[in-house]
Amino acid sequence: MLRDHYIFSNGRLKRKDNTLYFFDEADNRKSLAVHQTDNLYVFGEVDFNSSLFNLLNQHDVHLHLFNYYGFYAGTFCPRNKKASGFTVVQQSAHYLDDEKRLHLAKSFLHSAIHHMLRNIRRHKEKTEEYIRNIEHEATKMVSAASIQEVMGIEGRIRQHYYQSFNAILKQDFIFEKRTKQPPQDPLNALISFGNSLCYTAILSEIYKTQLDPTISFLHEPSTKRFSLCLDLAEIFKPLIVDAVIVSSINNRVIAQKHFDFLEGMVLLNDEGKKKFIKEWDAKLSTTVQHRKLKRKVSYRYLIRLECYKLIKHFIGDEPYKPLKAWW
């Protein structure tokens, strides 16, 4: 079974023969089974060479880099062995057709709303007002005639949703407004860090399919970003990221001591990142009985299945129906 590895220390990641080694600053060596690795997440200052990247390419290992502050910096993706010109052409055609694009954009948001309501209905006695506000905004989706309208609805719904965290969370974590670059309070720091992990997990799964990660529908495609990851993240942020945030705080896995309060920003410290990642990995590995496949699949594999459903939609095999958790 493939797994992810996280590197927080400074040092060097190198290849020796067909083995992957990490050497820390004291020259302590740790081997990593490259053939059992899916993703490498690097948070420390780590040196690499071309020989290492050749090995990662051979074994389809994705390398995700984060900067000094823990913000996502970029990804090394192995050569795409599943590229399909036909699929990319059909994916592009759905972007260029306004009606088809709007349909997909609304589909992603319908799934997001379903999962947001699913989260806060578990605390219905405290969140009835937020549920009503979100349901009211959701009714406007039917008449939305442009991507801009859909994005406006999404923004208002997300604001009501995050405000409901003040009624759900048990510790002194308060949501006032969403701040990203940089996050200005512990809750925003958690949201940003969790969302970064979500984007990279989705990117890794997209690259295992024939989809092009730069052609998106809800979010506008642009240079220097994988915007399809942002589209699919609408589905999985409330389902995975937010669920991990709420459980980590309410079960006191994450507390105020796990943050660094710097000038103008608040960030998870290394201990906080490690604790959150442990919960994140456990969530991704959690399995549910799939109603159509008749077998158990992990949350991570649900992301891949969403990619497959999009491909079937693009090539005309089966209309896309976004994931709506039934369990």
Same domain, 244 and 136: yes
Q: Is 318 annotated as a binding residue?
A: no
Residue that finishes a domain, picked among 29, 52, 76:
76
Same domain, 199 and 128: yes
Residue 319 lies in a domain: no
Q: Which DSSP state fits 238?
A: I
Same domain, 41 and 148: no
Kindly report whether the global pTM for this prediction surpasses the value 0.85: yes
Whether residue 318 contacts residue 309, with contact meaning beta carbons closer than 8 Å, is answered with yes
Q: Is 234 annotated as a binding residue?
A: yes
- Give me the phi and psi of 84, to 5 degrees please: -140, 110
Whether residue 322 contacts residue 307, with contact meaning beta carbons closer than 8 Å, is answered with no
What's the average model confidence in pLDDT over 277-293?
96
Same domain, 144 and 264: yes
Model confidence band, residue 187 (pLDDT cutoffs 50, 70, 90): very high
DSSP letter for each residue of 82-98: T--HHHHHHHHHHHHSH
- Which tokens belong to 300? 């991570």
Residue that finishes a domain, picked among 76, 94, 114:
76
Same domain, 149 and 205: yes
What's the average model confidence in pLDDT over 92-115?
98
Residue 322 lies in a domain: no
Q: What's the confidence (pLDDT) of residue 215?
A: 97
Same domain, 94 and 177: yes
Same domain, 23 and 159: no
Same domain, 296 and 175: yes
E-strand stretches of 52-183: 62-66, 72-76
Long-range contact set of residues 247-256: C-beta below 8 Å, sequence gap at least 24: 247/279, 248/190, 248/275, 248/276, 248/279, 249/169, 249/170, 249/171, 249/173, 249/190, 250/168, 250/169, 250/170, 250/171, 252/171, 253/279, 254/190, 255/171, 256/171, 256/172, 256/186
Q: What's the confidence (pLDDT) of residue 83?
A: 78
DSSP letter for each residue of 24-58: ETT--EEEE-GGGEEEEEE-S-EE--HHHHHHHHH
Same domain, 269 and 297: yes
Residue 323 lies in a domain: no
Same domain, 106 and 243: yes
- Predicted confidence (pLDDT) at residue 39 exceeds the cutoff of 90: yes
Whole-angstrom distance, CA of residue 269 vs CA of residue 280? 16
Whole-angstrom distance, CA of residue 105 vs CA of residue 26? 50
- Predicted confidence (pLDDT) at residue 107 exceeds the cutoff of 90: yes
- Predicted confidence (pLDDT) at residue 224 exceeds the cutoff of 80: no
Model confidence band, residue 46 (pLDDT cutoffs 50, 70, 90): very high
Q: Is 110 annotated as a binding residue?
A: no
Average pLDDT, the chain: 95
What is the domain-level CATH number for residue 15? 3.100.10.20
Q: What's the confidence (pLDDT) of residue 105?
A: 98
What is the domain-level CATH number for residue 185? 1.20.120.920
| Total number of domains constituting the chain | 2
Between 225 and 1, where is the model more confident? Answer: 225
Q: Which domain holds residue 143?
A: 85-314
Per-residue pLDDT tens digits for 225-275: 899 999 999 999 999 999 999 999 999 999 999 999 998 899 999 999 999
Residue that finishes a domain, picked among 76, 94, 129:
76
